[in-house]
Each structure stands twice: as C-alpha cells, then as structure tokens.
Amino acid sequence: MDKKGAVYLVGSGPGGLNLMTCRAREVMDMAEVILYDQLPGEEILSCLPAHAEKVDVGKYGGHHTREQDEIEQLMISYAKQGRQVVRLKGGDPFLFGRGGEELETLRAHNIPVEIVPGVTSAIAVPASVGIPVTHRKYASQVTILTGNEDPAKEESAIDWDWLAKSRGTIVILMGVKNLGKIAKYLMDHGMDPATPVAVIERGLRPDQRETIGTLETIPGLAKERSVRPPAVIVIGGVVSLYSSEHVVSR
C-alpha cells in the first residue's frame, strides 16, 4: 500500500523553543518536509531536524521567495508523494498566517490536514512586558488586526470609525510601515491623541525592544528610534501597565 501523505499547519508560537507546544515539536521532529518562513525565529529554525527536507518560503523585506499559490502547490505535491509535510509559521497559523486559505486548498485536494495551534504574539509579546490585553479596569475586549492594510484606501475591510470609538485594546500586527497613517486615522475618527501606545519589536527574542508613547507621539518616536518589523503594536489604557522591570528573561 502506498504511504499516505499529510500536511500539518503548525504555529511555532511567539518565539523560542520553550514557547512551542509539545505537539508542534512532535510533528516538526517527524516531518519529512518543512516549509518555513522567517517568523519562527533563528532559535527554532536552527533546530529543524537534519533528516527533513527544508524549503524557505518566507517573505523578506517585501520580497517573497515563493508566492502563496506556489507554497500551496508545494504542499499538495509533497503530500501526494506520500510525505509528511509541516508548514511552519510564527504565532498561530489561523491568525493572519493564511492558514485558513491553505486549509481550504488542501481539503479541495483531499489531503489530510492537522492544525497545530500556537501561542500568538498578539497576546504573548505584550505580556512579556507586563501589558495584559484585557483588564477589568482598562479593557473588557480586544481587537486584533493587520496593519498591512492602508487605512486610507477606499475599500477598507476595517471599520476605523467603530475602532476609534471602541473602549477596548487594539493590537496591530504587521503595522510598522503604516503606523503613522494608522495613528492619524484613529485620531481623525475621534480617538484621544493621549491614548497610550506600545510598539514591541522582535518580541521574546534576545534583541527585543520597546517604544512607548501616545497615539500622537508614537509615529515620531518610532521614526526617531528606527523601529523595524516584526513588531506588535498595542493601543489602549492597558499600555499604562508597561514596566521594563517586568521584561522576561531572554
């Protein structure tokens, strides 16, 4: 009987081997092929099993080593060869990781799929510096959104008017490039310019760095400090709980 292939959509967590789930480690160790990007971080990527075929499908500075349809075709091709394929992503595969699209494609080709959840950086990275995304005093809801979308575009998928008036925490991933536009758009729609903001670069990695300001000041501070992705942006009262003394050991 021919060996049956399968694909595992694996979330590696926010950074570092100690924050991967046990199941993520298990499937990574038994994988015959690993399709990875750069977001899992050097510590995890340096520990990929030697026996596995490793394929870099990451995005670097806006340059895609492989387009999304190519990545999906690779998964299909390897699985149909009877191989065990891990698609390794940072954070959780279903939070802005295009895991949902990949799941649909694999199902359409009758390829067995297992989803291996991961701890998302949207919660873990703020927590590493003492910022809870919800708090009874500050926020009873949290909204997580992609910052890749230009807030000024004509057909935005994000309700910026509602967002600016909401009383919860806003967490933005992939938003460094558009930080100035996002801040202006939120203020233009009524958000208080004094709202606290934290930008946490390279979360849970040895060179993690935090920039703290307000909605009004954060674009200038980010420019002054040459803030670069990857970074998690947190907007809301919970940022006032930030403390550099609570940065985890890394």
**Is residue 230 reached through a cis peptide bond, with omega within 30 degrees of 0 on the bond before it?**
yes
Closest CA to 16 of 166, 99, 118, 135: 118
Mark residue 158 as left, alpha or beta (left: phi above 0; alpha: psi -120 to 50; beta: remaining).
beta
Question: HSE (CB half, 13 Å, CA atoms) of 178?
Answer: 16
Q: 229: how many CB neighbours lie within 10 A of its CB?
A: 14
Q: CA dist 234 to 59, 89, 163, 227, 238, Å?
A: 24, 22, 13, 14, 8
C-beta separation of 201 from 208 below 8 A: yes
Instruction: Give the pairing of strands 113-116 and 84-89.
Output: unpaired
Which positions are catalytic?
37, 59, 174
Report CA 141 to chain centroid distance, whole Å.
Answer: 19
Q: Calculate the alpha carbon distances from 152 to 132, 134, 174, 188, 192 in Å.
A: 29, 28, 16, 11, 19
Amino acid identity of residue 65, one-letter, is T
Compute the distance between CA of residue 60 and CA of residue 44 in angstroms, rounded to an integer: 17
